[in-house]
Chain A
Amino acid sequence: MADSPPNVRLNLANTPENVVLVREMLSGVGEAVELSPSDLNDVRTAVTEACNNVVLHAYEGDPGPLEIELYLAGQSLGVLVRDHGIGLSAESMSLETDAGGIGLHVIQTLTQTVEFAAGEERGTDVWMWFNAPQVPPHAPPHLDGDQAQTLALSGVPTTTICIAPISLARTILPRLMITLAAHAHFSTDRISDAQLLADALVEHAQAAISGDKLSIDVTVELRDLELHISPLNVGRAQQLIEQSELGGLNGVIAQLTDRHRVVSSGAHETLTLGLSDPR
């Protein structure tokens, strides 16, 4: 339905906590494109309904992926909520039944257009478009067509965040980092550090990445966050750590994180940053 790739992509597990993450992302986008609070509330409410459906029903109570894509183009804001679960039945998609239909009525009321489509193999795509006159008619730079490089990390659910252009991350990434740090049970001290780290990454990522998009895989464990930032240009990961100046202080990324490592794979590097809060 969308002609161009998304501006924001989140690949998440279908947990209730991650619905909060989606809502925070939407708030960040709302701030970036200056949506009115009331329009933002409509977007958040409709998208929440679609996400709740994935959390509660799509996998019949089992874990499964929740994928979000956000598009800014043509004075509209589009959101795709995708699952790979059991799929909506024709009956529940008709919007005329009571069973499970209230959420669908809510989505239908709050969106400019909405489309429910069967996924490629299984699952459901819910496409929602909202009027957003503040969004310029021409699409800004967006994510390339390539899929996010999702890491398979020892069974720990990974959250993938892709944002383009990187300037859009300025209002989104700090919110996401606060939320992820809260999910990791960080103290508010360390949550502030996570927020500063997000600021530093947004400030310096541009110089280390070819292209105008930021891709981060995050694993959340008790009192620990690990960020994998890729693909970086060769030699730039170490430079990003050493020269990350925030407000004149050098090496802020190194100071705010507990560990870091650089892994090269051919033409690219992945920078891994670890934050913990041992208290």
Chain B
Amino acid sequence: MSVAIATHSLHIDRGTAEDLDHLFAQWQDRRDPTAREALVKRFMPLTRSLARRYDRSSEPFDDLLQVASVGLLKALDRFDPGRGHSFPSFAVPTILGEMRRYFRDCGWSVHVPRGDQERALKVRDAQETLSSEHGHAPTVSQLSQYLELETEQVIDALQATQAYESLSLDAPRPGGEDDTITFGDGMGSEDERYELVELDATIVAAIRHIPARERAMLHMRFVEDLTQTEIAARVKISQMQVSRLLRRSLDQLRALTRDTSEV
């Protein structure tokens, strides 16, 4: 979708009410394009400010502004100055209505998951880059500066990353109880270290269902008290993957121990 908005200079930046009435009359009665351009120029700051309110969505701002501009043009066509209301009180619902229709009709279903996922991947990559530069995991403000994203977008990406089961891992995805993946990368010979001997019988029974690699991460995090970055370095995957795998293993264990206790 594209909307051509003329931006060449006109002499009415902030017109008086009379100026505006005149311009509306010029446009609505006589279809004078210069009057419409003047009105567009006058109300573009309002339009831009409304588009910015949805700027934290995953739509590019330029697209939002174009949709909002369509709403402005519709409002200019339909506004009736004779009713005594100000133009903004009529235009704001019209412009927002256009944006909401756009989101409903074509925006969200197609773009949102992709936009969020792309951002989550960018945040994940930036975490790895900054971790290796600084020697420790970055903060959200460091990530938002590095990626030129808003803090909230980084927080949403961190939240979203936990939900993406489909992100591929460097290693094959661990399977069920027969899974015998060892750690590779020099870790295989130390498997016996990762027995979770401190856990009670129910847990030990349940934990056999957790793939070896994730079992080891649980041990490293909760028994050896390593940070996620340290685990990531040891297992040679990203910290985000460690975070996600830990959370998933704990969910899995929770389900397994529940099943056992219910039997």
Can you show 23 pairs from A to B with CB atoms below 8 A apart?
Answer: A24-B152, A37-B112, A38-B104, A45-B53, A96-B89, A98-B86, A102-B49, A106-B53, A110-B100, A175-B159, A185-B140, A188-B138, A188-B139, A188-B140, A188-B228, A188-B240, A191-B158, A193-B228, A196-B247, A199-B250, A247-B218, A247-B253, A249-B222
**Chain A residues in the interface with B (C-beta under 8 A):** 17, 20, 23-24, 27, 36-38, 41-42, 45, 48-49, 95-98, 101-102, 105-106, 108-110, 174-175, 178-179, 182, 185-193, 195-196, 199, 203, 245-250, 252, 255, 279
Q: Are A185 and B203 in touch, CB under 8 angstroms?
A: no
Residues of A near B89 (CB, < 8 A) are 95-96, 101, 105
A110→B257 CA distance, assembly (Å): 45
CA distance A37 to B160 in the complex (A): 14
When the two chains form their complex, are residues A98 and B151 in contact, meaning their CB atoms are under 8 A apart?
no
| Cβ-defined contact, B199 with A23, below 8 A | no
Q: Total contacts A to B, CB within 8 angstroms?
A: 151
Name A's interface SS. Answer: helix
CB distance from A8 to the nearest CB of B (A): 17
Residues of chain B at the chain A interface (Cβ within 8 Å): 46, 49-50, 53-54, 57, 85-86, 88-89, 92-93, 96-97, 100, 103-104, 107-108, 112, 127, 136-141, 143, 151-152, 154-156, 158-159, 162, 199-200, 202-203, 206-207, 218, 222, 225, 227-229, 239-240, 243, 246-247, 249-254, 256-257
Q: Which residues of A contact B158 (CB under 8 A)?
A: 178, 188, 191
CB distance from A92 to the nearest CB of B (A): 13
Given A41-B54, A199-B250, A249-B218, the answer on whether A189 and B154 have CB atoms closer than 8 Å is no
Known A187-B138, A188-B139; contact A246-B53, beta-carbon cutoff 8 A: no
Contact between B155 and A24, CB atoms less than 8 A apart: yes
List the A residue with the shortest CB-CB distance to B87: A98
Closest residue of chain B to A95, judged by CB? B89
* Residue contact A182 to B86, C-beta cutoff 8 Å: no
